[in-house]
Amino acid sequence: MFDNVALVGATGAVGSIVLQLLEEREFPFKTIKFLASARSAGMKLTFKSDEYTVEELCAEAFDGIDLIIASTPDDVAAKLVPWAKAAGAVVVDESGYWRMNPTVPLVVPEVNPDAILDHDGVIASPNCSTTQMVLAMKPLHEAARITRVVVSTYQATSGAGVVGEEDLESGSRAALAGEDYDYQAFSHPIAFNLIPQIGSSKHKGYTSEEMKMVWETQKIFNDESIAVCPTCIRVPVTNCHSESILVETERKITAEEARELFAATDGITVLDDLENGIYPLPLSCSGQDDVFIGRIREDISCENGITFWCVSDNLRKGAATNAVQIAELLVQKAGTPAEPV
């Protein structure tokens, strides 16, 4: 049972959405506490009409806690998970620190829910760009087995945190005024620009963000034979990651079959009417929990290829929503705890 819940990183961009989702989705609990860094400790938060004081994250803060949803940097996640496990709690972790640990399941509930059964006190939520792609891949993979994926991402500045959003807004104002701006999150101007690098140089000219998409996809599908060729690009969009995805399958899937498979999948909304200009856009998909797919068409360069456009709110399904869904899945597997008090 998971009666006593803690949210770590409650004052951050993703943590604040997790808090909102826990209330909107009526997540069951007896007690709940909110934890953050020393800088944010003492802040007041309102949850279900009650006021809570944010507490400082430390090992003792997990005493009596059963379930933790953590949205923190990697270095904080490295410390808090051992504290939580020592206290007997289970952690749903949104950082990148535990994702590729072979003892830690990496879960997207619509894709590999049974992986959650093998946890040893921590379940990882994937990188935002991976999450929307594997959900889009799932129905095609089940129908015809995907052998190869070529993906180009167009990632919003919110993926770099609040400072990334500030860089876009202030940098754009400065550029329009003909003034200089000192970028904090990005090594190049993002206003009216594209940056074809997210993360550090990692492997054979691929960045760390790109290799996350390779390794995480293979882990989620438990299939290292799936070939993934990613290119990750930062774009001057405030929120929602967009992806151009080409998949090759063992047997041919027509565009109509792919459209039907997408439409029948939980968590996917199809917007696909090119003649009438209907397809997913970051502006219209922001604030939504689904993965949106359009521009579905057969690849004219290879026999068994399907290509499509995919947009998802990176702060919600790419992070907060997926973590809450994992927590809900844990509760479902364990049995629902008592009503909130």
Place of tokens 């959650």: 116
Statement to judge: residues 121 and 202 lie in one domain: no
Listed residue (67, 62, 9, 23) closest to 331, CA to CA: 67
Statement to judge: residues 218 and 157 lie in one domain: yes
pLDDT given at position 15 = 93
Residue pair 253/262 in contact (Cβ under 8 Å)? The answer is: no
Q: What is the domain count for the chain? A: 2
Statement to judge: residues 243 and 323 lie in one domain: no
% of the chain at pLDDT higher than 70:
98
Minimum mean pLDDT range among 43-52, 65-74, 251-260, 326-335: 326-335
CATH number of the domain that 98 lies in?
3.40.50.720
Statement to judge: residues 111 and 184 lie in one domain: no
Which phi and psi angles does 206 have, rounded to 5°? -90, 150
Statement to judge: residues 219 and 330 lie in one domain: no
pLDDT beyond 60 at 133: yes
Q: Return the H-helix or E-strand segment holding 77.
A: helix 74-86
**Residue 263: how many CA atoms within 13 Å on its side-chain side?**
11
Statement to judge: residues 218 and 263 lie in one domain: yes
Which position has the higher pLDDT, 142 or 335?
142
* SS3 at position 267: coil
pLDDT beyond 90 at 338: no
CATH number of the domain that 183 lies in?
3.30.360.10
pLDDT given at position 334 = 77
pLDDT beyond 70 at 292: yes
pLDDT given at position 335 = 62
> Tens of pLDDT along 151-180?
999 999 999 999 999 999 999 999 999 999
CA 276 to chain centre: 30
Statement to judge: residues 106 and 169 lie in one domain: no
Q: Which domain holds residue 23?
A: 4-127+319-334
Which of the residues are catalytic?
128, 241
Residue 339 domain-assigned? no
Statement to judge: residues 217 and 122 lie in one domain: no
First to last CA, the chain: 16
Statement to judge: residues 106 and 160 lie in one domain: no
Q: What pTM value is reported for the model? A: 0.94
